[in-house]
Amino acid sequence: MSSRRTFLAGAGAAVISHLPAARARAANDRLRIAVLGVNGRGTAHIASIMKLPDAEVVTLCDPDLEIARKRASEFEKTYGKKVGIEQDLRRVFDRKEIDAVTIATPNHWHSLAAIWACQAGKDVYVEKPGSHNIFEGRRMIEAAHKYKRIVQHGIQLRSSEAIQEAVEHLRKGTIGKVYMARGLVFRWRPSIGHKGVEPPPDSLNYDLWTGPAQMEPFSRRIVHYNWHWTWNYGNGDAGNQGIHETDMCMWGLGLDSLPNKITAMGGKFLFDDDKLTPEVLTTLYHYPEHKKLIQFEVRPWCTNLEDNVGVGNIFYGSEGYMVVNGYNSYEIYLGQKREKGPSRKTGEPLDAHFANWVKAVRSRRTEDQNGPVETAHSASGLAHLGNISYRLGRVLEFDPVGEQFVRDTEANAMLTRKYREPYVVPQQV
């Protein structure tokens, strides 16, 4: 039994999974939402939710109370009403009047927070990557299904009308037989320098911030943003910006499983700093049964664009290729002469992605979702497998059905992590 389920034992945990929704609501009643993690990405969650006529943010939660109070003050100035504050996300899960949560914490908290939320009867919007490792992603799917929760993954490109149209072109053969996809993450990532150890600020509950990760001395090389570049908390840019691109690769190629063979190479070539994840990374994912290949590449600094794409995707077919630029546009080029084919650009899809989530929460139909929980595992899992290959420095064979590496104890050990009590992702959710 997980620590979260023990925590809920006195609050009706045994019957939560049988409820069709978090609480009985009238059809015109607003969905009451808490945002978990409001230092960075959580501010975009607040803005998108508050645009919806049938939802509202009622609580902001962050282990750093200084940040939570600052965001609450901004909220009151912007929307003309007060919002609640919590430091401990477990208090949020205890509150029966909260219907749903959005999760914009650091990566190492994403799956456990989502699992606890499902166990507490809350629907979930979880930022990418949905998981910090393969084991967590599978447990999150199991929790969503067991507790009948709507769990939406923050891959908003799936709610872009332009990108939906692009995938239709791939399906109907506009560029012929599609055999390869390329994901690009060329982001300007400067040195983070070297930061020493210091006491955490009084406003921060550092034990809670660390959560399921192993405890390290507090340092500005970790809190609040640079945790992305250390394995204990983040997954590098492959598991940061790259999740949008790995998801797009799989969606466009029509793949719903992890690959059979993975290889990756890269490293730190530019900066002497505290980053542990690679600055440059190239990964290949092979699907021999489908005769398809995914390439993924991270570059951190001065570089060229590829057909004007720095962050996005390129799909290759027998009759042409397609360029997906960011979250909301595509262009097709046909034949040897690269003649211009169909193209489209629409607005940014984040608001639409939140609206899609709320629609599914109200309908209780997972088929209404553009970013169902399964994508949180598959897209994130692709990044995790590439990172494992990079860290071990060798080609890996993987069984996508059993979700284990083939005859590789060392690699299999990296499919999960050692969790820190009481913040443990359970074997049985």
Question: Which CATH number belongs to the domain containing residue 387 in this structure?
Answer: 3.30.360.10
Over the stretch 242-293, which tens digit does the pLDDT of each residue have? 999 999 999 999 999 999 999 999 999 999 999 999 999 999 999 999 999 9
62 and 18, same structural domain?
yes
Alpha carbon 86 to its chain's center: 23
pTM reported for the whole predicted model: 0.93
Are 331 and 182 within one domain? yes
Contact criterion met (CB below 8 Å) for 283 and 295? yes
Both 122 and 166 in one domain: the answer is: no
Q: Is residue 340 part of a domain?
A: yes
Q: Let me know whether 187 and 147 are in one domain.
A: no
324 vs 377: CA distance, rounded Å: 22
| For residues 26-55, average pLDDT | 92
Q: What is the mean pLDDT of the chain?
A: 94
Let me know if residue 15 belongs to a domain.
Answer: yes
**356 found inside a domain:** yes
Q: Is 404 within a domain?
A: yes
Q: What is the count of structural domains for the chain?
A: 2
Residues 47 and 188 in one domain: no
| 292 shares a domain with 362 | no
Q: Does residue 257 sit within a domain?
A: yes
Q: Which of 100, 119, 115, 29 minimizes the C-alpha distance to 58?
A: 100
pLDDT digits (tens, 9 = 90+) for 344-375: 999 999 999 999 999 999 999 999 999 999 99
Phi, psi of 128 (to 5 degrees): -75, 150
Q: Report the Cα 236 to chain-centroid distance in Å.
A: 13
Q: Indicate whether 420 belongs to any domain.
A: no
| Exposure letters 93-124 (e unless 16+ CB within 10 A, then b) | bebeebbbbbbbbbbbbbbbbbbbbbbbbbbb
Whether residue 362 is found in the same domain as residue 256: no
Give the tens place of pLDDT for each residue, 138-159: 999 999 999 999 999 999 999 9
As a whole-number percent, the residues of the chain with pLDDT over 90 amount to 93
- Please say whether the beta carbons of 279 and 226 come within 8 A: no
**Residues spanned by the domain of 329:** 159-193+228-346+381-412
Is the pLDDT reported for residue 24 higher than 50? no
Do 46 and 59 touch, CB atoms closer than 8 A?
Answer: no
CATH number of the structural domain spanning residue 55: 3.40.50.720
**Are residue 356 and residue 405 in the same domain, yes or no?**
no
Instruction: Kindly state whether residues 252 and 367 are assigned to the same domain.
Output: no
pLDDT above 70 covers a percentage of the chain that reads: 93
- Distance in angstroms (rounded) separating the CA atoms of residues 252 and 301: 28
